[in-house]
A and B are shown apart, each in its own frame.
Chain A
Amino acid sequence: MALFSAKTAQMTAAAVESSASESQMALPSYLEYTAYADRVENSLASAPSGPSLQLPLETSSTVSGPLTPFEQPGYVVQDPLNTTTFSVPSVGSVDIPADTAAAFSLRQQQMEIDSQTSLFPSQTSKSDFLPPLPSCWNQEGISAVLDLSKDKLEIRYTGPSSKASDQDAAAVRANHLITPQCGLFYFEVEVISAGKEGFIGIGFCGPKVALNKMPGWVQDSWGYHGDDGNSFACQTNGKPYSPVPYGPTFSTNDIIGCAINFRNGTAFYTKNGISLGVAFKDVKGSALYPTVGMRTVGEHIRVNFGQRPFMFDIDAFMREEKIKTYKQISSYPLSIELLNGGLSSAPPNGPGASASDAALTHTIHKLIASYLGYNGYVDSVHAFADDVQKEILAFSNARVDNGNNANSYSEQDMHEDLETVNRQKIRVAVLEGNIDRALKLTELFFPKAFEDNPEIVFQLKCRKFVELMRSCALAKEGDEWTVSDQIGEYSEDQEMSDFSAAESEKPVPNSSDQLLNEALRYGQKLHDDYKSVTFTPKTTQISTKPATTSNMSSSASSIASDSSSSTVPSPQITASPTTTFVPDVQKALGDIFSLMAYPDPLQSPVAHLLSEDGRAAVAEDLNAAILVSEGKLSIAPLERLIKHTTVLIRELAEQGGQAAFVNIRRDFLSS
């Protein structure tokens, strides 16, 4: 039984935002692990606040050709005959690295060509556009003989009760196209009444199909019919029908399910929860609507697009499809060239599969080590290097003939990295709430970070005010609070002795009143300093000179660049313009000053501002600012790999296929 999880209920917003009039619908559970779900979740995660979940429907419907009556806004379908092209809106695409954009726009062009020549008009492939899923029937253009219920889920045939013929057929289709990104789409139709003859056809069709034929009786249309149990696929108009015996007949009280599998282009039906096997092969096209057709009076059905639990266990079927997908993916031989060009340099020699394995391990070691270094986890970097070293030593101590393998690991070269150590000190200072120390250390070691990013100084100062308010509130509570926790003692650092001396001269506040006074003074100064300041968004071009302080061996990377120059040149993401976060100064000040309005801020509605969690966010931002000022990208290669792969999967999944069954977030990033 398919059930809805609370988590996916949140996804509703993105999926149905487009049609306020339609019933709210959660993402059905069987779709939770698809590329589509990854995008839905990502768009929720990236929404700063409020209405930005709005799908870019208006922008993407700037089409030059006329819309056919059944097109929904946002479903810009190109007319294959008119070959009208439309400009792809660049919603939020300012961050695309130039090379990535170039290569992907190449694909864009390719798809535009495809859509002009192929039978099935292609949807917009703009990846910012998140197409909603079918959630109810579309009222527009349906025959007068069909009666649509208020919730748009039930359809009743009310036509003439006289002897009906094929000419009296009337069909309805869903409000949205099925996006192949969901990998597999499933819906169930309950026959409430078979009416006079039970002439009901269930299936799917393209956007151009007329609504006066049974599903399957015209081009670009597929259907399974209840009166005879036959299946029909894309019959050509005017030719004698050639039914294919497929399944049992169905009638009143039966529940018929229909699944389109974009992994392999097949479709199958279910009857009362049991699969009837593959009905259609070579189901192609990214523009398909669920559809139902009827022909005689009294026929009455109700559709379930996932609003309610399904009769058939589609979740289990989906799991099987995912397993098949991953079997295929892991049987694909990893390209050593890709791994080498990507990150590692001198993989251990070895023939065949073992070389690929070794290159994979080598790459992962680099990803892990650089991730630890990026975050300033100095002890972890060293411990990891030691562990890897031990592993290699155990390996090479033995009686190995061609024992040059130990040398090929550059993890051995991981050294004490001063820059990393300093970043770690700064991080720890922020995490301890010792903002003064963080400010001073950053100024000492990374002055450029503050020059480049006055915003981060502001952020730190705001945090300092919060820390002052916090210690004041804790002092009032009268327990646990220690002065040194806030003021900090760091005489262990020789280079910091000046600062230590300066600070130790300060009188140590010993009452909450004194602390409050200090906080207020600081707040006043903060207000004076920043009352007329606004930060403007700016784009920083990051230089990509090999990081001098990297813990990776530089000899290794030079080998790698040699080898890459001898192979076919490919566009490389070398630099990425990064738009720095721009805080709204006045709002930020307003937020933190609101702390002063409460006698006991810890119990106030704004108590969350005082949480220690806020330190981590500031520490992250400061770390990123320092990395950028040092000429590094602000995100670790591991994170970059994840983002890059997510984008690749997203692009591939737009055509369905295996990629639609990959959900990077769910499959690799959730615990």
Chain B
Amino acid sequence: MMNDVRVSKSSLNALVMNYLIIEGYQSAASKFAQEANISSSVALDSIEDRIRIRAAIHAGHIPEAVERINDLNPELLDTNPELHFALLRLQLIELIRDLASTSNDDITPALTFAASHLASRAQKNPEFLADLEQTMALLCFSPSNLVPQLAELMDPALRRQVANKVNEAILEAQGVMREAKIRGLVRVWGWADNAMRQEIGEVPALDLKNLA
């Protein structure tokens, strides 16, 4: 049954290329284009800016990332208040993280930042407010002893999330589909696997690990 599903080589290549470009793996994309002999419709150098922004966010350098975003697309954050708030909140978290890693007890910089950049935005939006309150709670607890909800904020994975949101927003503003197709594909697999499980109890697992 599986073997009579036809998948063309070119469509597999396109799926991989789509991922490399959208997620910003620039050198892999250009090597792949050479080796698989495919021409890419998206200019590869357009990836560069997105990589720099992502790297800045991953490293926790939020002001640098915001600056780069504004250089690339001055309207992006203005037209996307949720994204802007997510970045500012991440910056606040980074300030708190700095605080925790030093023996400095002075929480003034964090409070000042929160008051000047986040408070006014939070007043206009109840969701923002809840997020801000939760973030401020970080100041009250020792970083080594956080409830899961708060620990999640300190987890570096949050940087990845925000970086992905920024990447998607930039792509969307450039008129490119915002998510790599392979992500959707894997999700459909997860969903269909579960749906099938509900229906018949068990599903032949796709055992990929022995094959790779």
Binds A, one of B81-89, B95-103, B127-135: B95-103
Interface check B5, CB cutoff 8 A:
yes
Contact B35 A377 (CB under 8 A): yes
- Indicate whether A572 sits within 8 Å of B207 (C-beta atoms), given known contacts A348-B157, A647-B5: yes
A432 shortest CB reach to chain B, Å: 12
Interface check A380, CB cutoff 8 A:
yes
Contact B199 A107 (CB under 8 A): yes
Interface check A400, CB cutoff 8 A:
yes
Give the chain B neighbours of A339 by CB distance below 8 A: 186, 190
Contact A345 B32 (CB under 8 A): no
Contact A103 B202 (CB under 8 A): yes
Give the chain B neighbours of A591 by CB distance below 8 A: none
B33 shortest CB reach to chain A, Å: 9
Q: 1/0 per position for B172-212, CB-CB distance to A under 8 A? A: 00000000111111111111111110011111111111111
Interface check A351, CB cutoff 8 A:
yes
Q: Which B16-32 residues have a C-beta within 8 angstroms of A?
A: 16, 18-20, 25-28, 30-32
Please name the residue on chain B nearest to A332 by beta carbon.
Answer: B191
Contact B58 A99 (CB under 8 A): no
Contact B188 A342 (CB under 8 A): no
Interface check A557, CB cutoff 8 A:
yes
Binds A, one of B67-75, B116-124, B147-155: B147-155
User: Total A-B pairs in contact (CB under 8 Å)?
Assistant: 310
Sample 12 A-B pairs with CB under 8 A, ordered by A number.
A97-B204, A334-B190, A335-B193, A383-B30, A394-B59, A399-B97, A573-B205, A632-B211, A647-B1, A652-B195, A662-B188, A671-B18
Interface check B11, CB cutoff 8 A:
yes
Partner among A46, A102, A424, A572 whose Cβ is within 8 Å of the Cβ of B205: A572
Main SS class of interface, A? helix
Contact B211 A637 (CB under 8 A): yes
Contact A546 B185 (CB under 8 A): no
Q: 1/0 per position for B1-45, CB-CB distance to A under 8 A? A: 111111111011011101110000111101110111000010000
- Docked pose: A329 CA to B179 CA in angstroms: 15
A491 shortest CB reach to chain B, Å: 23
- Indicate whether A405 sits within 8 Å of B156 (C-beta atoms), given known contacts A398-B59, A668-B184: yes
Contact B190 A97 (CB under 8 A): no
Interface check B161, CB cutoff 8 A:
yes
Q: Which A515-570 residues have a C-beta within 8 angstroms of B?
A: 544-547, 550, 552, 557, 560-561, 570
Contact A96 B188 (CB under 8 A): no
Please name the residue on chain B nearest to A550 by beta carbon.
Answer: B212
A553 shortest CB reach to chain B, Å: 10
Q: Which A611-639 residues have a C-beta within 8 angstroms of B?
A: 616, 620, 632-633, 636-639
- Docked pose: A178 CA to B7 CA in angstroms: 27
Contact A358 B210 (CB under 8 A): no
- Docked pose: A671 CA to B184 CA in angstroms: 14
Contact B35 A380 (CB under 8 A): yes
Binds B, one of A54-62, A72-80, A306-314, A361-369: A361-369
Please name the residue on chain A nearest to B185 by beta carbon.
Answer: A668
- Docked pose: A636 CA to B16 CA in angstroms: 12
Please name the residue on chain A nearest to B144 by beta carbon.
Answer: A401
Give the chain B neighbours of A416 by CB distance below 8 A: none
- Docked pose: A375 CA to B199 CA in angstroms: 36
Give the chain B neighbours of A97 by CB distance below 8 A: 2, 204
Give the chain B neighbours of A6 by CB distance below 8 A: none
Partner among A103, A110, A375, A399 whose Cβ is within 8 Å of the Cβ of B204: A103
- Indicate whether A355 sits within 8 Å of B212 (C-beta atoms), given known contacts A368-B20, A642-B5: no
Interface check B55, CB cutoff 8 A:
yes
- Indicate whether A645 sits within 8 Å of B200 (C-beta atoms), given known contacts A552-B212, A669-B7: no
Interface range for A: 35 or more
Main SS class of interface, B? helix
Contact A354 B60 (CB under 8 A): no
- Docked pose: A309 CA to B199 CA in angstroms: 37
**Chain B interface residues (CB < 8 Å from chain A):** 1-9, 11-12, 14-16, 18-20, 25-28, 30-32, 34-36, 41, 54-55, 58-61, 97-98, 100-101, 143, 148, 151-152, 154-161, 164, 180-196, 199-212
Give the chain A neighbours of B158 by CB distance below 8 A: 354
Interface check A104, CB cutoff 8 A:
yes
Please name the residue on chain A nearest to B11 by beta carbon.
Answer: A669
Contact B154 A645 (CB under 8 A): no
- Indicate whether A401 sits within 8 Å of B209 (C-beta atoms), given known contacts A354-B161, A383-B27, A395-B58: no
Interface check A280, CB cutoff 8 A:
no
Interface check A141, CB cutoff 8 A:
no
Contact A332 B12 (CB under 8 A): no
Contact B189 A645 (CB under 8 A): yes
- Indicate whether A342 sits within 8 Å of B207 (C-beta atoms), given known contacts A354-B158, A550-B212, A669-B7: yes
B140 shortest CB reach to chain A, Å: 17
- Docked pose: A294 CA to B6 CA in angstroms: 46
B68 shortest CB reach to chain A, Å: 14
B160 shortest CB reach to chain A, Å: 7
Contact B200 A103 (CB under 8 A): yes
Give the chain B neighbours of A667 by CB distance below 8 A: 181, 184
A97 shortest CB reach to chain B, Å: 7
Partner among B19, B154, B159, B188 whose Cβ is within 8 Å of the Cβ of A649: B188
Contact A364 B186 (CB under 8 A): yes
Task: Give 10 A-B pairs besides A95-B3, A570-B202 with Cβ atoms closer than 8 angstroms.
Answer: A101-B1, A334-B190, A350-B157, A358-B160, A364-B186, A391-B58, A395-B58, A398-B59, A643-B2, A664-B188
Q: 1/0 per position for A92-134, CB-CB distance to B under 8 A? A: 1101110111111011001000000000000000011000000
- Indicate whether A391 sits within 8 Å of B54 (C-beta atoms), given known contacts A338-B193, A341-B205, A576-B2: yes
- Docked pose: A505 CA to B98 CA in angstroms: 71
- Docked pose: A13 CA to B105 CA in angstroms: 76
Interface check A278, CB cutoff 8 A:
no
Interface check A264, CB cutoff 8 A:
no
Contact B187 A329 (CB under 8 A): yes
Contact B211 A544 (CB under 8 A): yes
Give the chain A neighbours of B35 by CB distance below 8 A: 377-380, 424
- Docked pose: A398 CA to B101 CA in angstroms: 12
Contact B185 A645 (CB under 8 A): yes
- Docked pose: A394 CA to B9 CA in angstroms: 34
Partner among B61, B98, B181, B186 whose Cβ is within 8 Å of the Cβ of A363: B186
Give the chain B neighbours of A342 by CB distance below 8 A: 205-209
Contact A377 B36 (CB under 8 A): yes
Contact B2 A669 (CB under 8 A): no
- Indicate whether A343 sits within 8 Å of B192 (C-beta atoms), given known contacts A42-B5, A354-B152, A395-B160: no
What 4 A-B pairs have minimum CB-CB distances, sorted nearest first?
A354-B157, A95-B3, A384-B28, A648-B192
Contact B210 A400 (CB under 8 A): no
- Indicate whether A103 sits within 8 Å of B203 (C-beta atoms), given known contacts A342-B208, A351-B151: yes
Give the chain B neighbours of A196 by CB distance below 8 A: none
Please name the residue on chain B nearest to A644 by beta carbon.
Answer: B206
- Indicate whether A371 sits within 8 Å of B5 (C-beta atoms), given known contacts A354-B160, A652-B195: no
- Docked pose: A360 CA to B161 CA in angstroms: 12
